[in-house]
Amino acid sequence: MKSKSAFGLLFFFLLGLLPFAAALVYALLYSLGIVGILSEGVSLTHWQQVIQSGELLGSFLYSALLAGTGVSLSVILALLISMGLRTSLQHRFWSLLMYFPLAIPGMVASFLSIQLLSKAGFFSRISMKLGWIDRLQEFPDWINDSYGIGIILTFVLIVSPFFVILFSNVYQNERIAELSTLAYSLGARGNQVFWQVTLPILFSKTKRIMILYFIFLLGSYEIPLVLGQESPQMLSVLIIRELKQFDLKLIPEGYVVAVAYTVVIAIAALLVFRRKEVQVHE
């Protein structure tokens, strides 16, 4: 049994951690000018240029805002659906319907959003038919807009079904229905049961998954690539743009952004799992 466990750890290290560590080290060396086509030795010039430009910080804040909004709206919508339609979700049809959006790739979801939310899309034409707008050009800019509305709505489309399934499973596994009945028998009201029994249990069991999904959306690429604008850009789009520049002297700046992003995400993930480990030992 121990040999199998050791083999599994070795396999994970060779296929998971080692390539990631090698790529991170290479990116760090490239950002410092140690390796690369035009490398001239150790230099912090590229780091200084990226930090002074403010583009990294702006992109990070923009990405965090969109990812945080997407996760928050997804959680709220999932709570409304999982609690309001709890009985319906037990039927096979509605249960399978929740799994369907999870199979949609990000690129496909992006083009679907264009068909629905653009000025020539489905909702703009419905609005014109209903007389809410006189011309298609009057429909709000939800695609490639500065507020990232199209990106956020697409995030909600692909993320909220996952949380509906998650909340439904936690509700059953933690026997929240029985705890709610007990709270009612002790004199609690409907709102009190939800805010003081149901919601705290759901949140405590899923908050780390929410954080991990935030990290996942923070590094999303396909959706902001199709639905985002030129500036500001989400981090992954900014990194790829910097790495594909025609000016070879500026490529190290892309590696600077990649290293900074990786370090921040790695620290956040370690803090999340470290806190979980401490709580388990306590």
Q: Which residue did the predictor score with more confidence, 149 or 46?
A: 149
CA dist list (Å): 198 to 82, 195, 211: 12, 6, 20
Q: Of 197, 192, 191, 203, which is closest to residue 178 (Cα–Cα)?
A: 197
Q: 27: part of which helix (H) or strand (E)?
A: helix 18-31
Q: How confident is the model at residue 281 (pLDDT cuts 50, 70, 90)?
A: very low
Q: Of 280, 156, 262, 157, which is closest to residue 208 (Cα–Cα)?
A: 280
Residue 71 DSSP SS3? helix
The confidence score (pLDDT) of residue 280 equals 47
CA distance 267 to 272: 9
For residues 115-124, one letter each, b for 16 or more C-beta atoms within 10 angstroms of the residue's C-beta and e for the rest, the string is: ebbbbebeeb
- Give tens-digit pLDDT for 75-126: 999 999 888 777 777 777 777 777 888 888 888 999 999 999 888 888 999 9
Set out the domains of the chain in order of their start, with CATH numbers: 18-53+245-282 (no CATH), 56-228 (1.10.3720.10)
The encoded tokens of residue 9 equal 């750890």
End-to-end CA distance of the chain, in Å? 28
The encoded tokens of residue 21 equal 């560590």
Q: Which residue did the predictor score with more confidence, 200 or 19?
A: 200
Q: Of 199, 177, 190, which is closest to residue 75 (Cα–Cα)?
A: 199
Instruction: Kindly report the average pLDDT of the chain as a whole number.
Output: 83
Mean predicted confidence (pLDDT) in 35-51: 79
Q: How many CB atoms lie within 10 A of CB 177?
A: 12
Residue 281 DSSP SS3? helix
CA distance 156 to 144: 17
Residue 196: pLDDT over 80: yes
Q: How confident is the model at residue 186 (pLDDT cuts 50, 70, 90)?
A: confident
The confidence score (pLDDT) of residue 95 equals 72
Residue 89 DSSP SS3? helix
Mean predicted confidence (pLDDT) in 225-247: 84
DSSP letter assigned to residue 194 = I
> Which residues 6+ apart lie within 8 Å of 229 measured at CB?
144, 145, 146
The confidence score (pLDDT) of residue 5 equals 66
The confidence score (pLDDT) of residue 126 equals 92
